[in-house]
Amino acid sequence: MTLLDRFRAQARDTQSDPAARLAFVEALPLTERDAIAAAAREDTDPRIRKAAVSKLMDPAALAAIAREDQDDGVRAQAVEMLRDLALEAFEEVGEAESLQAIDAVPDQKSLVQIARSATRDDAALRALARLTDVHGLGAVARHAASEAARLRAFAMIGERQAGEEILAVALHSDFKDTALAALELLPGREALEQVIARGRNKSAVKRARAILRDRKSTRLNSSHVSESRMPSSA
């Protein structure tokens, strides 16, 4: 008789030895969803609840644990599982479970990670729609794998007129699309010079140089026109 069979032959809640209960939970296959969920919710030992949570594939149950469990480690494990489900890190997880997990994620940090890392546009945009932190929006605009999420995050920064985040996108974006879009919103010469000196994106640096050249040329032309219109002295 295997370890799992031996424990199945007895009621789990009659096992007084935490090590024995932990071994039981660790031996449970993922198909034993009810037993895993029961251990995650009801065991008195946080180590065992945490072990069960790490095998729990139910977004609703994980959300409840993330809100209500008394142990910090168990709550953190539940949030981590929600994030992994959202990113479809497990073969057992599909699009429906991913979107359910995104809706259940309780914190902004995890939503930023999902919006940055998700490769499917619908998942990235779903996480982005729940973001309220402007720095998080900037991180998505700079680094998101999804082009749709990058551009939407940058649009949200622009709507908020978040100057520091716009400059950060121009300086540090991994991608040409948002880096160039940010350049068009930079107000003055100083910001463009910062991009030229420290910009991470080569396309943005090149474009910043071109903008400064164009502005210089425009000023010179305007000056020449003004001088030509001045009346000559008699």
The per-residue pLDDT for range 163-185, each reduced to its tens digit, is 999 999 999 999 999 999 999 89
Whether pTM exceeds 0.85:
no
- pLDDT for 216 equals 76
The DSSP output letter for 91 is: T
Which residue from 36, 41, 42, 37 is spatially nearest to 24, judged by alpha carbons? 36
Say which residues have a Cβ less than 8 Å from residue 167's Cβ, sequence separation at least 6: 182, 186, 191, 194
**What tokens does 145 get?**
């794998």
For residues 123 and 96, what is the distance between their CA atoms, to the nearest angstrom?
10
Mean per-residue pLDDT, 12-39: 86
Exposure string for 189-200, b = 16+ CB within 10 A, e = fewer: eebbeebbeebe
How many other CB atoms are there within 10 angstroms of residue 151's CB atom?
Answer: 16
Give per-residue pLDDT as tens, 89-105.
Answer: 888 778 899 999 999 99
- Amino acid 33 reads R
For the segment 50-79, the average pLDDT, to the nearest whole number, is 96
Question: Residue 110: CA atoms inside 13 Å, Cβ hemisphere, count?
Answer: 21
